[in-house]
Amino acid sequence: MNVICKQAIYNREGKVAFYEILLQDRRRGVYPQDFDPLKATSISIDVLTEISSQRVGNGKLVFVNVPAIFLEASMFELLPPQYVGIELVENKRLSNRLFTAIEELIRKGFKFCIDDFGFEKIDYIPLLNKCHYVKINIKKNPYNQEELREVISILKSLKKGIIVKNIETKEEYELAYKLGFEYFQGIYLSRPSIVRNTKTISFLKSTILDIYNAIKSKNIKNVVEVIERDVGVAYKLLKFVNSTNSSRVKEVGTIEEAVMHLGLENIAKFTVVLALSEMFIEQEEEELWRRALFRASLGEGLSELYAPDLKDKAYLMGLFSTSKEILGQQPSELARTLALDRDIVEAYENRRSTLGFILSIVDLLEDREDEETIKNVAIVMNTDPQKVKNILWGAKRGSMKLVG
């Protein structure tokens, strides 16, 4: 099983200075064999946007392993520079565009680290002026101890933070400390700890294309409608927006508010991260997504009849009402996590409110669709049975088009 982990990086006083977030084959304790580095980076960024980099790093800088090509896509604009560092792990595609991208990210406040640094790697030299830290493998580097001491001295004179990695024994730690390294990483000091299973929150393949088409037409309403049809993307978007903007007084509680807050350009970048991470739902999970959409549409329709001013809340209430099966969280717990309206939380918890009443009707109609049940629902809602039946059929039709 592949998981996203974080590993602490310590200073000379033995205190945590930074973290590195990385993909790991948990059974073998190493990077998954033949796993695309670009995809690994996308998954890491996806997790940071969902959980929040501040929380992952406990308020300290979190370094993300990044292939050079990824920097040109400007994905890091979705993340706060005060909590995210960029560790360049591949240097085969250096270009003027790459240097421009690095300079732009540095202007925004991001810190850069060069992985597996060595002066013998010619391509690294132009990057040295731009980076803040360099990382050297205690086991795999071309220097003897005297040469390594000289390299460290030169890097210090250039005011670069110097991290030593892959420390597995007390002897290696003592040697690295004696040589003058400033920061230390390795299983002798701290083993990687799991942040998240990479398959936790999934979404539909069709959602990605639909969002792009809506963005191309510059239609915010369509973007909102597409995201509202996918419980996984709706969850990720609300979680991201509410976890990355601590300066906002009012938390975002609807998909429309989240889309308006980010803007179409950042929604496009957010979608690219999702697409590259490829955490799509499996075929057997599609029925869960259909059920979530059915309950959302049914709740919205019933609310239009009974309490029109609550229809937006009723939709989100229905969409996340199956969160235990889909996302592994109780609906009331998830509603608080996503900063959904208090009315939705109360509906999940006690069913005594108007929204709670609508949710009870959703439960009833999902289980029983016979004429007698529809008639009784119409009576308690003071409406015509045919209207209830039309809402029920409309919700069914809508959910069946989920992957179309």
**pLDDT higher than threshold 60 for residue 404:** no
Hey, what domains does the chain have and what are their CATH numbers?
A: 2-197 (3.20.20.450), 205-281 (no CATH), 284-400 (no CATH)
What residues form DSSP beta bridges with 135? Answer: 163
**pLDDT higher than threshold 70 for residue 375:** yes
- 190, two tokens: 């701290």
Residue pLDDT, tens place only, 30-75 = 777 777 777 888 888 888 877 888 889 999 999 998 887 777 666 6
pLDDT at 210: 92
- 124, two tokens: 């690294």
Distance between CA atoms of residues 366 and 369, nearest Å = 7
For tokens 């509603």, name the residue: 335
Residue pLDDT, tens place only, 175-221 = 999 999 999 999 999 999 888 655 557 888 889 889 999 999 999 99
**pLDDT higher than threshold 60 for residue 391:** yes
Distance between CA atoms of residues 349 and 339, nearest Å = 15
Distance between CA atoms of residues 117 and 129, nearest Å = 13
pLDDT at 249: 47
**pLDDT higher than threshold 50 for residue 143:** yes
Sign of the alpha-carbon torsion through 33, 37, 43, 45: positive
- 49, two tokens: 């946007």
Mean pLDDT of 84-88: 92
pLDDT at 93: 59
For tokens 């990720």, name the residue: 236
Distance between CA atoms of residues 380 and 157, nearest Å = 79
What residues form DSSP beta bridges with 5? Answer: 22, 194
pLDDT at 121: 67
pLDDT at 198: 52
Computed over every residue of the chain, the mean pLDDT equals 87
Q: Checking phi first, is residue 293 left (phi over 0); if not, alpha (psi -120 to 50) or beta?
A: alpha
**pLDDT higher than threshold 80 for residue 115:** yes
pLDDT at 389: 95
Backbone dihedral angles phi then psi of residue 280, each to the nearest 5 degrees: -85, 150
Residue pLDDT, tens place only, 147-185 = 999 999 999 999 999 999 999 999 999 999 999 999 999
Distance between CA atoms of residues 179 and 175, nearest Å = 6
pLDDT at 248: 46
CA 24: distance to chain centroid? 17
Residue pLDDT, tens place only, 298-345 = 999 999 999 999 999 999 999 999 999 888 889 999 999 888 999 999
Backbone dihedral angles phi then psi of residue 73, each to the nearest 5 degrees: -90, -5
Question: For residues 23 and 32, is the Cβ–Cβ distance under 8 A?
Answer: yes
